[in-house]
Amino acid sequence: MDLQNLRKEIDETDAALVELFRKRMQISRDIVAYKMEHDLPIFHPGREREVLLRVSEQAGEELSTYARVLYGTLMDLSRSYQSRQMNTGSAFVSEIRAAAERTPKLFPETALVACPGVEGSFTQQACDKLFALPNILYFRNFEGVFQAVDQGLCRYGVLPIENSTGGSVNDVYNLMKNYRFHIVGGCKLQVNHNLLARPGVKFSEIREIISHEQAISQCSEFLHAHPEIRVTKYDNTALAAKAVAESDRTDLAAICSHECGALYGLTMVEEHVQNNENNHTRFICISRDLEIYPGANRISLMCATPHKPGALYRLISKFAALGVNLTKLESKPIAGRDFEFMFYLDLEASVWNDEVIHLLAELSHTDEGFVFLGCYHEV
């Protein structure tokens, strides 16, 4: 038998499989109607185990594993299809649509905004990029920003979330699970780090450099080239610059923004000391209330998965099936649960897409944990 005939057989088999798939999904729809009428849950683990055991035995030893994967995927699709029928009027969908309807058409030009650090920080620059005329209230650390938004002291807060060189800002991710907030906007900022010191100080005199740990990470090559200089972590790059300005030491310098020089009377010792000239940081704008502005095209969420093989794959495959691009996947341990993790995901998608919002509604019913962080636009 030649290849063309074999391909013809495959095509005929696929056509039969598609018809059987359509029939199976229709039966799934009838089942969900029964479950809704009798107030039964979609997921029946005992039934699924029974099906997987049966088909793996029917497939034979050689194809047993493949059959389990195939039918595991089929049952995932069936649950997703059933969830969509049940979630048409769900509380999650209603909440998202209500938030989108009450959100103003334009992002505010001015507001009271919480920022970490002091004037001259990169977060302040990000704040100025997000808002035309922000009224900024500064806090010493990231947690102060979360607290200000959570307690209603500030309507918004701006925080760094990820750097193209240093990776995720772990302190921010670690705080996310402790506070109630939503992401309503974001921006990307080019970050150039400079070495600044008091006027008249030469590089040969410097014995200590202070800065935020992210800046230190982004300038690691420069710092490693000078092992004789001690490196000390500081709460914020702008706070480090301010500390140098207020010190009488002539052997102290800070890695910070160029703007800090003019603000705090410091001079440039070395310019652009970051590892990569193409160095960018992503910032998020958070609020206590859910706001979804027109043009929102990025979704952020937190989701836990069952502690069993294939669980993360099944989660990601749901988005892949809809053609949704996953741009971020970060895992953090769940306190009190050995080697179980909460996953943070960023998606190129919008809640205006019916398929996406119904998938999110399905995930919102998971027992392991789900938090919708927001749908927003990044500038």
Per-residue burial over 100-117, b = 16 or more CB atoms within 10 Å of its CB, e = otherwise: beebeeebbeebebbbbb
265 Rama sector, left if φ>0, alpha if ψ -120 to 50, beta otherwise: left
Helices and strands per DSSP (H, E), number in the chain: 13, 15
Architecture of domain 1-86: Up-down Bundle (1.20)
C-alpha 375/C-alpha 369 separation (Å) is 19
Residue 339: what pLDDT? 72
Q: How remote is the C-alpha of 39 from its chain's centroid?
A: 34
Rg (CA), the chain: 26
| Residue ranges of the chain assigned to CATH 3.30.70.260 | 90-103+294-379
Structure tokens at 373: 């962080």
Which regions of the chain carry the CATH code 1.20.59.10? 1-86
Closest C-alpha among 103, 185, 249 to residue 379: 185
Of 123, 165, 237, 281, the active-site residue reads 281
pLDDT attached to residue 2: 86
Give the architecture-level CATH label for domain 90-103+294-379. Answer: 2-Layer Sandwich (3.30)
Under 8 Å between Cβ of 362 and 84: yes
Per annotation, catalytic residue among 122, 146, 283, 319: 283
User: If DSSP states are collapsed to H, E and C, what string results for 128-157?
Assistant: HHHCCCCEEEEECCHHHHHHHHHCCCCCEE
**Strand partners of residue 160:** 283
Give CATH 3.40.190.10 domain extents, the chain. 104-191+280-287, 194-270
Strands of 106-223, DSSP E: 112-116, 135-139, 156-163, 167-168, 182-190, 194-197, 208-211
Summarize the chain as % helix, strand, coil (round to 5): 40, 25, 35
Structure tokens at 39: 């107030």
Q: CA-based angle 346:219:284, to the nearest 5? A: 25
Per-residue pLDDT of the chain (379 residues; tens, 9 = 90+): 689 999 999 999 999 999 999 999 999 989 988 888 888 877 777 888 899 999 999 999 999 999 998 998 898 888 888 877 776 657 899 999 999 999 999 999 999 999 999 999 999 999 999 999 999 999 999 999 999 999 999 999 999 999 999 899 999 999 998 999 999 999 999 999 999 999 999 999 999 999 999 999 999 999 999 999 999 999 999 999 999 999 999 999 999 999 999 999 999 999 999 999 999 999 999 999 999 999 999 999 999 988 877 888 888 988 988 899 999 999 988 877 777 788 999 999 999 998 899 899 989 888 778 999 999 999 9
In this structure, how many other beta carbons lie within 10 angstroms of the beta carbon of residue 120?
A: 23
- In the annotation, is 366 catalytic? no
Supply angle C-alpha 170, 326, 65, rounded to 5: 110
Structure tokens at 301: 């969420």
Topology annotation, domain 104-191+280-287: D-Maltodextrin-Binding Protein; domain 2 (3.40.190)
pLDDT at 346: 97
The pLDDT, as a whole number, for residue 317 is 86
**Sign, Cα dihedral of 274, 275, 280, 284:** negative
Measured torsion, CA atoms of residues 250, 255, 257, 259, in degrees rounded to the nearest 10: -10
Q: How confident is the model at residue 89, as a pLDDT? A: 57
The amino acid present at 251, given as its one-letter code, is D
* Contact criterion met (CB below 8 Å) for 113 and 158: yes
pLDDT of residue 35: 84
Query: CA 361 to CA 80: how far, in whole Å?
Result: 10
Is residue 279 a contact partner of residue 182, using CB atoms and an 8 Å limit?
no
Residue 100 CA to its chain's centroid (Å) = 20
Contact 15, 65 (CB under 8 A): no
292: number of CA atoms within 13 Å, CB side? 21
Q: Give bridge partners of residue 255 from the DSSP assignment.
A: 195
- Output the pLDDT for position 87: 64
Under DSSP, is residue 346 helix (H, G, I), strand (E, B) or coil?
strand
Active site residue 283: yes
CATH 1.10.150.650 describes domain 194-270: no
pLDDT value at position 88?
60
Helices 354-363 and 311-321: crossing angle in degrees, nearest 10, is 160
Q: Are 298 and 345 in contact (CB under 8 A)?
A: no
